[in-house]
Amino acid sequence: MNPLYFLLSCLFGVGLLVVLARLLLFIVEVQGQSMMPTLLPGDRVLALRFWPGRWLRRGQIVVTHYLDTRQTRQPDALSEQKYIKRITGLPGDTMTVEMPPLPPSQKAAANERPQPRTWRVPPGHYFVQGDSWGLDSRIVGPLPFRALRGVVIMKLKRRVEHTNQSAPLEIPKPTEPEQS
């Protein structure tokens, strides 16, 4: 086999793999605390862009684009915002969720504990929740499949913050307690 032909074939194959990976995969950095302890702020995940709705399963971690079910189209202000949540309900499921206790400032006005909320997940929708409290389907209700941007396939190694190696690291000296 001609070595030049082999080299060009390898380069073409690698290039094709890179293009396919860019089309099918994307990386998202965790911004909030709603997926703690599974995912921490600053963690990065690799997600698969295309995932048929019939393949979705309870427990899968997904990336959604927006979490306002009243929007008929994607709002411009939130177009880049991505939310990472866990699927807890699929079409046809009935979801009953205990709401968190009210803050002390609102307890006097409400004079009672928040009642559980119940949703029936309609066709073409799914119910997502964070592993901790945050903005999710417990607040906005089931999300349409069009809000799904990808399915998380793996957590990536955490980025290491680089420090300036040329500057010496200053460690504060312990202070002496004041004597009176």
| Domain 19-93+123-155: top CATH class | mainly beta
Terminal alpha carbon distance of the chain: 89
CA distance 68 to 62: 16
The domain limits of the chain are 19-93+123-155
**Pick the residue with more confidence: 109 or 30?**
30
Q: Compute the distance between CA of residue 79 and CA of residue 8 in angstroms, rounded to an integer.
A: 40
125-148 CB burial, b ≥16 within 10 A, e <16: bbbbbbbeebebbbeebbbeeebb
Q: Does position 101 have pLDDT exceeding 90, yes or no?
A: no
Is residue 179 scored above 80 in pLDDT?
no
Please tell me the pTM assigned to this model: 0.70
Q: What is the pLDDT of residue 110?
A: 52
Q: Are 119 and 144 spatial neighbours (Cβ–Cβ below 8 Å)?
A: no
Among residues 149, 124, 123, the alpha carbon closest in space to that of 62 is found at 149
- How many other CB atoms sit within 10 Å of the CB of residue 91? 17
Average pLDDT over residues 27-51: 90
In this structure, which amino acid lies at residue 31? Answer: Q
